Amino acid sequence: MYHYPAIAALTEDVKQQLVSFPQLRDMFTQCYPNTLETTVELLDDDTTFVLTGDIPAMWLRDSSAQVNPYIPLAREDAALQRMLRGLIQRQAQYILRDPYANAFNREANGQGHKGDTPPAGPWVWERKYELDSLCYPIKLCYSYWRHTGDTSNFNETVHAMLRKIIEIMRIEQQHDTHSTYSFERPDPLLPSDTLPFQGHGTRTNFTGMVWSGFRPSDDACRFGYLIPANMFAVVVLGYTCEIAREVYQDEKLAQAAEALRQEIDFGIQTYGIVEHPRHGRIYAYETDGYGNYNLMDDANVPSLLAIPYLGYRPVDDTLYQNTRRFVLSPDNPYYFTGKHASGVGSPHTPRGYIWHISLSIQGLTSNDPAEQEEIIRMLVNTTAETNYMHESFHPDKPQRYTRSWFAWANSLFGEFALDYVKNALRV
């Protein structure tokens, strides 16, 4: 493992603060640095490759989320700055190679899913177009800049990435008429691994929102406008405006980002809200712009539960609170309850299984100390005595779980544990 002094110092400090809660202390000590210890590779070209864990590829989404808890410490840690700068550059290079791909190889080795049509290039592990995969790298750029003041990353490669992202979002606002993207997987293990209608997905009406083929779970969208991903796009397009004006002095890019941001937000507010008989006005998970809605939430982020975490609306926003009550209730078809936990799962994993990611997000979006305490206890009691987070677990029998090495879940737990130590323990 590379040495990151700020990470080591913080980990030791938290260990001391959790001396009376040894299991949480041990979980934090294992999970918080897990990404740095097991998934990060600093390459000779000054870029950084970050594995997702037990899959030998780098997801744009996962790699961004995996390093997110370290960014606030980067100002005082040159090693962290090197790692983060390298990741930003590699993400930009990947997006410029193929802005529709979600996961990439370390080099052009042709590894990944075989037989998908159209075929992906040798750099691409998987070519599922997910709107959030274009949002996460912008958030990483912005967060790194604002926490460190370092502008050295903003070279022409990153500048071109920002322009390319806006270009793709513009095309996918009118997917049915303007896009050439399609994706089919012959003989998929699950129907959600491919898009219907010759790989183009279900039909959509123009709303101002941006179409997404797949969710952050890598499952196909039922309807093409994924509301949480569009919320994330609104937030990061605001970041793009700031970067364009303050760093690049590129007013054309800033105006393009702002116009797109406003159109997407209009689409969310006009087409993305429904009246629920028990919860009142709530955000839908997906819509097609024709009046069809998918009322659910998924554990993967961006999600409806994560709206304040994404920065789209504050925790106390009435519409968010209505939506949150829906998400954390049996009305959400992927909310599950068992002996050891209650929380949000996903159609991506066995029915009834809860995700550690969703529990951490529930804690990070709660302003109720009692709820945070309950979630901490659920997390502590569901690691199957590994002290690591998993993708999903059975709430009655936590020893039944998926993915023993899932770095995103470990990082997000570390982020929530830090928040818990700061707020719930008042230290």
State residue 196's pLDDT score.
Answer: 96
Q: What is the pLDDT of residue 255?
A: 98
Task: Give residue 424's pLDDT.
Answer: 65
Q: Are 298 and 216 in contact (CB under 8 A)?
A: yes
pTM of the complete model: 0.97
Q: Are β-strands 124-126 and 280-283 bridged in parallel, bridged antiparallel, or unpaired?
A: unpaired
Q: Tally the residues of the chain.
A: 427
Burial 63-97 (b: 16+ CB within 10 A, else e): bbbbbbbbbbbbeebebbbbbbbbbbbbbbbbbee
For residues 189 and 3, what is the distance between their CA atoms, to the nearest angstrom?
Answer: 41
pLDDT tens for residues 219-263?
999 999 999 999 999 999 999 999 999 999 999 999 999 999 999
Is residue 105 exposed (0-12), middle (13-18) or buried (19+ Cβ within 10 Å)?
Answer: buried
What pLDDT was estimated at residue 1?
57
Residues 6 or more apart whose Cβ sits within 8 Å of residue 277 = none
Could you tell me the residue ranges of all domains in the chain?
Answer: 5-423
- Provide the pLDDT for residue 425: 59
Question: Is the four-CA dihedral 152, 45, 121, 131 of positive or negative sign?
Answer: negative
CA-CA distance, 397 to 368, in Å (whole number)? 27
Query: For residues 315 and 362, is the Cβ–Cβ distance under 8 A?
Result: no
- pLDDT of res. 427: 42
Cα distance between residue 425 and residue 427, in whole Å: 5
CATH architecture, range 5-423: Alpha/alpha barrel (1.50)
pLDDT-flagged residues of the chain (< 70):
1, 424-427
